[in-house]
Amino acid sequence: MRIYIDENFITDNSNECEKNCYFLKIFANEKFSDDALKNGAKIINVDECKKILAIDEGIKIIGITGTNGKTTTAALIYQTLLNLGFSCGLCGTRGAFINGKRVDEKSLTTSPILKTLEYLSLATRQKCEFFVMEISSHAIAQNRIQGLKFAAKIFTNLSQDHLDYHKTMDEYARVKNSFLADESVKIINIDDEFVKFNTKNSITYSLKKQADITAKNVDFTNAIHAILKTQKGEFELKSNLQGEFNLYNLMAAVGVILALSDKKLDEISVAIANFSGVSGRVEVVSKDPLVIVDFAHTPDGILKILNALRHLSLVVVFGAGGDRDRTKRPKMGAIAQKYARLCVVTSDNPRSENPDEIIAEILSGMSKENVIVNSDRYEAIRLGLNNLRPNEALVILGKGDEDYQEINGVKHPFSDKNVVLELLKG
């Protein structure tokens, strides 16, 4: 990519280099720096790039890592900071936003460093005080956050995912934990069995152990209501979010805002209560019948949302992504079947794989009772709706707010939410 500055530009692609342009030399492209030099480029590092772009080093960058909860926690922190009167930027799975306006479309969870620097340049011009980032394990392993100085880091949780890339849970955990090894402020979920972190400047949160942030008088009957005990006192927490997993996300958000700002507990309580949720994350797309769409695509993610909705009788539509960790597929099937009255197993994003073979691997973890199979996701959602009994909820998992379905390298327009609304209207 290129960032244009006056009549010049910065690139991270040696093939784009020409006389007097800037080539950002990073971990991923350093072997091409000689080619960039031959093409007449000036070689710069991340710190030099920041100076050229006049990026404000005073912006407090908040990095969030974990298997589940990154997107919701990032949006929660971003919106709460805005509600508190701060200027703030955000980048992650849903795209990039600055002070309430979208500045880029959806892309990787964590962008290449030059794209992130472009966001920080925009945030500087908009006088942002904070910038919130989702940090994926791939980005840590590939050093895509090279040269960034984090004011705070958050760890949400770790469960099985991305083993197609990391191969083992031990390696996946090692990569995630490497992000937490420095002395920056860290907000850590210590209920997670895999987390290891540098305790210096750490703030812990827990629902099960002694920690800096804990909760009491917890009520999930109507959304979330609890009393949070924090390092600065207790306050009443009310949120429209659902489930225990979102209480964890709320605790992480409170922890980082308390650590990096001077806002009082009553101000944070009001600001955080006004967060309505994230599109495609436990999103109610219809109330009659009750239909919920969620991005959960790991065994732990599915467990958390279905457990949070266990007070309801459920019909669950789900599949599994192709070209990803195959070992999680039967586990996903077993968990869905445990909580659902009826499972409709379908296709997710099969990518280059045969959808029927993915479904067969899901079914290997399930009994044959109360299971319908249809590889056409549209028809599967129709079946889910048609099989709903009075007062039941339909839960559609795996794609959240994605607006496509990837089949054999082609992204076809597809939205779970739009399909539901179309079928209900019809």
- Say yes or no: 96 and 42 in one domain: no
Known binding-site residue numbers for meso-2,6-diaminopimelate: 324, 348-351, 398, 402
Range of the domain at 162: 60-273
- Predicted confidence (pLDDT) at residue 242 exceeds the cutoff of 90: no
Residue 165 has a pLDDT of 80
- Predicted confidence (pLDDT) at residue 365 exceeds the cutoff of 80: yes
Contacts 24+ apart (CB under 8 A), 96-102: 98/122, 98/123, 98/126, 98/128, 99/126, 99/128
Residue 334 has a pLDDT of 98
**CATH number of the domain that 381 lies in?**
3.90.190.20
Residue 106 has a pLDDT of 85
- 83-109 pLDDT, tens digit per residue, is 999 999 999 999 999 999 999 998 889
Bridging pattern class, strands 130-134 and 60-65: parallel
- Say yes or no: 374 and 405 in one domain: yes
- Predicted confidence (pLDDT) at residue 117 exceeds the cutoff of 90: yes
Residue 296 has a pLDDT of 94
Residue percentage of the chain with pLDDT more than 90? 92
- Predicted confidence (pLDDT) at residue 222 exceeds the cutoff of 80: no
Confidence (pTM): 0.87
- Predicted confidence (pLDDT) at residue 237 exceeds the cutoff of 90: yes
- Say yes or no: 301 and 259 in one domain: no
Q: How many domains does the chain have?
A: 3
Q: Residue 330 has which token pair?
A: 């039967």
Helix (H) or strand (E) holding 186: strand 185-189
In which band, very low, low, confident or very high, does the pLDDT at 255 lie, cut at 50, 70 and 90? very high
What sign does the dihedral 328-398-220-69 (CA atoms) show? positive
Residue 407 has a pLDDT of 97
Instruction: Confirm if 123 and 103 have CB atoms less than 8 A apart.
Output: no
- Predicted confidence (pLDDT) at residue 223 exceeds the cutoff of 90: no
- Say yes or no: 207 and 301 in one domain: no
In which band, very low, low, confident or very high, does the pLDDT at 162 lie, cut at 50, 70 and 90? confident
Q: Determine, yes or no, domain membership for 278.
A: no
Residue 86 has a pLDDT of 98
- Say yes or no: 259 and 386 in one domain: no
Domain boundary residue, one of 273, 298, 333: 273
Q: Determine, yes or no, domain membership for 148.
A: yes
The overall average pLDDT reported for the chain is: 96
**CATH number of the domain that 22 lies in?**
3.40.1390
- Say yes or no: 219 and 132 in one domain: yes
- Say yes or no: 396 and 258 in one domain: no
- 27-74 pLDDT, tens digit per residue, is 999 999 999 999 999 999 999 999 999 999 999 999 999 999 999 999
**Average pLDDT for residues 231-255, to the nearest whole number?**
95
**Average pLDDT for residues 298-307, to the nearest whole number?**
93
**Average pLDDT for residues 239-263, to the nearest whole number?**
96
- Predicted confidence (pLDDT) at residue 366 exceeds the cutoff of 80: yes
Known binding-site residue numbers: 14, 66-72, 109-110, 136, 142, 144, 324, 348-351, 398, 402
**Average pLDDT for residues 230-240, to the nearest whole number?**
95
- Predicted confidence (pLDDT) at residue 163 exceeds the cutoff of 80: no
In which band, very low, low, confident or very high, does the pLDDT at 208 lie, cut at 50, 70 and 90? very high
Q: Determine, yes or no, domain membership for 82.
A: yes
Instruction: Confirm if 394 and 386 have CB atoms less than 8 A apart.
Output: no
- Predicted confidence (pLDDT) at residue 183 exceeds the cutoff of 90: yes
Known binding-site residue numbers for ATP: 66-72
In which band, very low, low, confident or very high, does the pLDDT at 403 lie, cut at 50, 70 and 90? very high
Residue 161 has a pLDDT of 78
Q: Residue 222 has which token pair?
A: 């109507």
- Predicted confidence (pLDDT) at residue 24 exceeds the cutoff of 90: yes
Residue 227 has a pLDDT of 98
Instruction: Spell out the residues 6+ positions from residue 221 whose beta carbon is closer than 8 angstroms to its own.
Output: none
Residue 159 has a pLDDT of 86
Residue recorded with tokens 């000036």: 42
The single-letter DSSP state of residue 334 is H
**Average pLDDT for residues 108-126, to the nearest whole number?**
97
